[in-house]
Amino acid sequence: MNTLKNKVALVTGASSGIGRATAKLFAQEGARVIVAARRKKELDLLAEEISREGGEAKTLAGDVTQESYAKALVDFSIQEYGGLDIAFNNAGTLGACCSAPDITFESWNHTISTNLSAAFWGAKYQLPVMKPGSSIIFTSSFVGYTIGMPEKADYAASKAGLIGLTKALASEYGSSGIRLNALLPGGTDTPMSEKFGSSPEVIDFVKSMHALKRTASPEEIAKSALYLASDLSSFTTGTAMLVDGGVSICKT
């Protein structure tokens, strides 16, 4: 398939997990991809892998919490490929993972900067160069939306904020033909999820929270990102799209 033929796509947090899987899928579907993250070595390896598989990708490493990097990524996409059609603002952090009184000022700011502010900086520079039919996706979470979890105050606040940002920008740019949506994955087998817990007991507990009694692979979440990025979702904007294996509705 060539769902994204002739499209230029930017993916942040592309060095591992959902971002990496999505960058590969976008390239397989015909997009020319800009892959972004802090770790240049991992980005270069990803671009080489995409190239071996017949796709095309360019890398630009940097820190998504810096506004200057958001601008640099858009400038780079124009320089290398002449524009930008899709932005998957996916980079994120799990946060402090501790009780609210123990979250430090620095830790709170880091989580909000990485998960929420970085997405805003991205959109700030992406939107002005996008044409009708373009798509911006933010990676939010069911945490802070359908479910509250202990020791996740900073993470929940940042991810819930992304949904508000999605709705505001979708209403602002709908008349321009630009769509904005939030993707809300459930438990997914990524390096970041291992920080939540990697023991067999914790893994089994997390799986049991989902109606499907398992967690997702990054490739499964990438397919939903592809839907939101492509014309398959041409009448979808301003949504908080749950791709959570039923964790939001499961009580057993």
Active site residues: 155
* CA gap 226, 231 in Å, rounded: 9
* CA gap 206, 109 in Å, rounded: 27
Closest residue by Cα to residue 140 from 179, 181, 192: 181
Q: At what angle do helices 118-126 and 67-81 cross, to 10 degrees?
A: 40
Please name the helix (run of DSSP H) or strand (run of DSSP E) that holds residue 228, with its range, or none. Answer: helix 218-229
User: Residue 61, SS3?
Assistant: strand
* CA gap 15, 218 in Å, rounded: 12
Edge-to-edge strand ranges of the sheet holding 56-61: 56-61, 32-37, 8-12, 86-89, 135-139, 179-185, 240-243
